[in-house]
Amino acid sequence: MGAALGATLVLPPAEGLLLFLGVGFGMALPYLLIAFVPALRRMLPRPGAWMESFRRFMAFPMFATAVWLSWVVGRQAGIDGMALVLVAALLVSLALWLYGRGARGVLRPVAAVVSVAAAVLAVAVLNAPDVQAEADGDAKLAAQAFTDARLSQLLGEGKPTFVYFTADWCVTCKVNEKLALNTAEVANAFAQAHVTVLEGDWTRQNPEIAKVLARYGRNGVPLYLYFPPGSDIARPQILPQVLTPQILTELVTAPVDGTAGPA
């Protein structure tokens, strides 16, 4: 759905509205079927005690999400930032528990103080400076930090350039990096073709990267661009959002025919 919504940036208004209409209809379709097809309603389980167990079970996916987001904070703010997040979560849990117990008297100001402390810690994490994330043990593709000026310089020198935009919270990005980008096969192919790699980190929504994404008709990550030797900055090869080592190796070994353009 991300690719479809990103397409609305380059579609005419009428077509963009039709796309959103289709997305909305698809999301509403299960409810419409249940409402208008009695046979489907009869297949639904009857209300009962299982609903309470199911409600509690669904907390575990939320816990898993919290663990993942803590990892994202750790990548950006270091272990100290992650510790602040965990302490803030603990304080929020304590405040909610106090309110849930019907805090009265002395407990009410205690709950308020705990809530304020959690908010202060959250602000501290948001203002924490970025830290250089440790390189993954299996990372083999050497990359430079992306800037528009650096990209223009490389293209002006006629060098083949591969640019990818990623974020720590982007699951698709991390899967592609693990299974395709950071493999020996791809690293060797890029080295033999003398391809320069630029990495744009959009974890904190860098404004410069946002402009580049919009330039190529995107409003989010991942985005993978390849500029063959002598290509123009406005006409890269735009790769699919799901990569394989074969796609990347064939990309840099295929003959340049000068017909590449935006996908």
Residue whose C-alpha is closest to residue 224's, from 149, 103, 141? 141
Which pLDDT score, from 0 to 100, does residue 8 have?
63
CA atoms within 13 A on the CB side of 175: 9
Measured CA to CA, the distance from residue 120 to residue 89 in angstroms comes to 12
pLDDT (tens, 9 = 90+) of the chain, 263 residues, equals 666 666 666 567 888 788 889 889 999 999 999 999 989 888 888 888 899 999 999 999 999 988 888 888 777 777 777 888 888 888 778 777 777 666 566 666 776 777 777 677 666 655 555 544 444 445 467 899 999 999 999 999 999 999 999 998 888 898 899 888 999 999 999 999 999 999 999 888 888 898 999 899 888 889 999 999 988 898 899 999 889 999 999 998 876 554 444 44
Measured CA to CA, the distance from residue 220 to residue 37 in angstroms comes to 38
The pLDDT tens digits of the residues spanning 4-31 come to 666 666 567 888 788 889 889 999 999 9
Which pLDDT score, from 0 to 100, does residue 147 have?
92
Q: According to the 3-state scheme, what is the secondary structure of 209-250?
A: HHHHHHHCCCCCCCEEEEECCCCCCCCCEECCCCCCHHHHHH
Which pLDDT score, from 0 to 100, does residue 61 have?
93
Fold for the domain defined by 144-253 = Glutaredoxin (3.40.30)
The pLDDT tens digits of the residues spanning 247-260 come to 999 998 876 554 44
Measured CA to CA, the distance from residue 177 to residue 164 in angstroms comes to 10
Which pLDDT score, from 0 to 100, does residue 85 have?
80
Measured CA to CA, the distance from residue 229 to residue 235 in angstroms comes to 12
Domain ranges of the chain: 2-43, 70-126, 144-253
| In the block, residue with structure tokens 């803030």 | 88
